Structure 1
Amino acid sequence: MGKPPRSPLTREGILRAALALVDEEGAAALSTPRLAARLGVKGPSLYNHVSSRDEIIDGIRELIAAEMDLDASIHPWTAAVDSWARAYRAAIAAHPHAIPLLAGRPVRSASALRGYAAAFDVLRAAGWPEDHLMPFVQSFEYFLAGSALALVDAPIALPLPDDELPPGLDPFLNAPPDYRDIAFDAGLAALIRGFQATLDTLRTATDR
């Protein structure tokens, strides 16, 4: 019997294979030869669908951004942001090796830009001034990226004998199994409360 026919290449199939390659082998593994080999084709075949490695990285951002759901129908705005933050964390935590590829790159993917637009719409409807929208969203992204990376940290362990450890490390060494989730919940709640207080201050200043 001959080999079964290979599925035709598509842009989405290439991008999903690229994301799977990064998930399994890390950011450094992403190259067109490695990706072509994974798909069982020659490198030039990819360029019928994607123009460059940079476009593949932008496509990876699209796939991850599509997993971050901001439900603008949730009210109040604080609940919508809380829901979005949890979806964002889950999406990034599912693909932590992609973060080095995305960090520092301009956002060009349509999915990511639509996500920003949706977030800005939710904040505008809540009364946030235009000049506060990007700083607000960026603050959350800083927090969420860090919390997502913490999910893949190695378990706490110190390569020191007990008699060389400084005193007072019990909270560090005996942290509960879900301490990362506890830290995330506490940090997210504090961030939302802080921004709610900022919005209340801005409204008071505007009403004067």
Structure 2
Amino acid sequence: ADHGENETPGPTLNRPPLLSARARYQHATSIVSIPEEARGDIDRQQEDNNARPHRRMISRFAQFAARRALVRPSVSRPAVSFFSTEETPVPGFGKGKTSTGIVGLPVDPDAVSKIVVKYQELLDKMAASDMPETAQYRMDLEKIARFRIKIAMENPDDPDLVEDLVQCGQVEELVKQADDEMKVLDMYLS
């Protein structure tokens, strides 16, 4: 039995046919008046976008950015230079070390010469004392003081080399160690 011929068709919906993106574009451009030269450019761009989907994304981004730039009011910046043409020194620039990296211990540009002075004071104080020359503390302190004085006198303009050779911290710390050792020596002698 042929069922298709005897059935009454149901209500039909008048839907427009499904169109491809290109067909919809062509239909839209036929309604809107676009000059022929521009249509050719748009058609070429559309074909290019269909062939390379990643370019379509870039194109959309560029369109979004352009729209945003046009909508957003531009902030006018005055043509004023905030920089001086005079050469003013920058603090710490070209002066070597600017920080010890230790809280409470400032940079001392004369630390190497102070090492010589302070450790020599230690040696002089021990020589003037009644501490026996065979005391282990005296022998160790004299050895350390003479070594540090020798290194500092051989390299008066290179604190980094003094630090590397002594291997007991930064030159500022060596000065502080000499001060602390003077306090210990005073306690020992009193």
TM range (shorter): under 0.3
Higher relative helix content: 1
Bigger-Rg structure (1/2): 2
Question: Could you tell me the TM-score, scaled by structure 2's length?
Answer: 0.25
Question: Could you tell me the TM-score, scaled by structure 1's length?
Answer: 0.23
